[in-house]
Chain A
Amino acid sequence: GDSVTQMEGPVTLSEEAFLTINCTYTATGYPSLFWYVQYPGEGLQLLLKATKADDKGSNKGFEATYRKETTSFHLEKGSVQVSDSAVYFCALGGSGGSYIPTFGRGTSLIVHP
């Protein structure tokens, strides 16, 4: 079945450092790909998405490119802020006729001043 593998956290960075959170997937069909973010004490919210190969999703300085050849959707940000501290989830939209999104385990990001 479909699955998502994310790098384990926590990822600890200093403010203004470069961020990469790796995400790879296996899926039947060609699902849309998503990054969700969960800030402390809040629910998950969509950060960005890409719907087809080579699409780049971007929001709030974060970017991720849908790479079909490497089945990856790595999240990057050039300069992180303390306010980016959160848990980040990579997810597949439904594929192969299923509408059920599949989520990774989440990667905790801690940014120090």
Chain B
Amino acid sequence: GAGVSQSPSNKVTEKGKDVELRCDPISGHTALYWYRQSLGQGLEFLIYFQGNSAPDKSGLPSDRFSAERTGGSVSTLTIQRTQQEDSAVYLCASSSGVYLNTEAFFGQGTRLTVV
């Protein structure tokens, strides 16, 4: 597609359930990022994929969070045993990642609500 696509756009889940969030980056973009946006907070970096290199997982807040990127394209962020503090908007972005001055293109996000 023309832009970064995320699904679902909204997700309500019960505490303790697992959730999967999907991101389709722009075709040909080698870099893919996941961020979390909480109310009144900035964008919190979660994980970064670049081509076939090992991902940078330094932003994942706990071992309940994991992500994978298949075939260098689609990415899935998985949150196991969700907690109420996981409620936030999860944003995916992609970029060509070739130079340090490349912009990131964002999806519209998945709003996760844990009840």
Contact = CB atoms under 8 A, between A and B. Distances in A.
A16 to B, nearest CB: 29
Contacts of B48: 99-100
B62 interface: no
Nearest to A42: B108
B88 interface: no
A104 B35 CA distance: 12
B12 interface: no
Contacts of A93: 100-102
Interface in A26-65: 31-32, 34, 36, 42-46, 49, 51
Interface residues of A, number: 24
Given A42-B108, A51-B101, A100 B33 contact: yes
Contact of B31 (A32, A34, A99, A102): A99
A101 B33 contact: yes
B100 A32 contact: yes
B100 A105 contact: no
A53 to B, nearest CB: 13
B106 A106 contact: no
A43 B106 contact: yes
Interface in A88-113: 89, 93-95, 99-106
Given A44-B93, A106-B42, 20 more contacts: A31-B100, A34-B103, A36-B106, A43-B4, A43-B91, A46-B103, A46-B104, A46-B105, A49-B103, A51-B101, A89-B42, A95-B100, A99-B31, A101-B104, A102-B45, A103-B35, A104-B42, A105-B40, A105-B42, A106-B43
Interface of B: 4, 31, 33, 35, 40-43, 45, 48, 50, 56, 91, 93, 97, 100-109
